[in-house]
Amino acid sequence: MTTTIQQYEKTIGFCREIFLNKTKDYGTSWRVYRPISIADQIYIKAKRIRTIQENRKQLIGDSIQSEFMGILNYAVIGLIQLELPAGAPDELDFETVREWYDREVNVTRELMLQKNHDYGEAWRDLSQESFTDLILSKLMRIRQILANEGKTLVSEGIDANYRDIFNYAAFALIMIKEREAA
């Protein structure tokens, strides 16, 4: 039986490969995104998934799986953008991007392991629809924090919400793979 961490690593590895290949194709064009634009990019993908789930009909070829992969990678972009120092160039070299990607994934993996321990793998009892709704909820939180100029009184910040979005997308992708294998 495959463990959660093995499934997680395989899922993230595939998303990482796509991200890095797109970096080779497009460079770091995502550097022009302002914080709200990154949240909106994730929103577009999550909203499309929800629409397909509700209508049980899909008219274009991009799969729900590819949308969750995009959500995961946009969450990494959001995390990198939050961490890059002011004045960082728009075009980053490939090695720098790979280092930043891996750094953010490592922090997010550790968070997943801690939460997964404390919650007893409760995510395995959730539906794909719940992951979509949780992602949309986290996006609403990010939008509100941005409207509050990045300030919170007692709540987690934007980074924590991106990390949760990343992990929800990873869990949804694991479940899709499990369903395909069944």
Domain boundaries, the chain: 4-181
Task: Output the furthest CA–CA distance in the chain (Å, rounded).
Answer: 49
Q: What is the pLDDT of residue 23?
A: 98
Q: What is the pLDDT of residue 4?
A: 95
Q: How far is Cα 58 from Cα 63, in angstroms, rounded to an integer?
A: 9
Q: Looking at the predicted structure, is the pLDDT value of residue 2 above 80?
A: no
Which of 53, 30, 25 is CA-nearest to residue 176? Answer: 53
Q: Looking at the predicted structure, is the pLDDT value of residue 1 above 70?
A: no
Mean pLDDT of the chain: 96
- Take residue 77 and report the two structure tokens written for it: 């972009």
Q: How far is CA 89 from CA 68, 95, 109, in A?
A: 28, 14, 27
For residue 57, give the amino acid letter.
Answer: K
DSSP secondary structure letter of residue 125: G
Q: What is the pLDDT of residue 107?
A: 98
Q: Looking at the predicted structure, is the pLDDT value of residue 58 above 90?
A: no
Q: What is the pLDDT of residue 61?
A: 84
Tens-digit pLDDT profile for residues 82-123: 999 989 999 999 999 999 999 999 999 999 999 999 999 999
pTM of the predicted model as reported, rounded to 2 decimal places:
0.96
Q: How far is Cα 51 from Cα 167, in angstroms, rounded to an integer?
A: 21
* Higher-pLDDT residue of 100, 59: 100
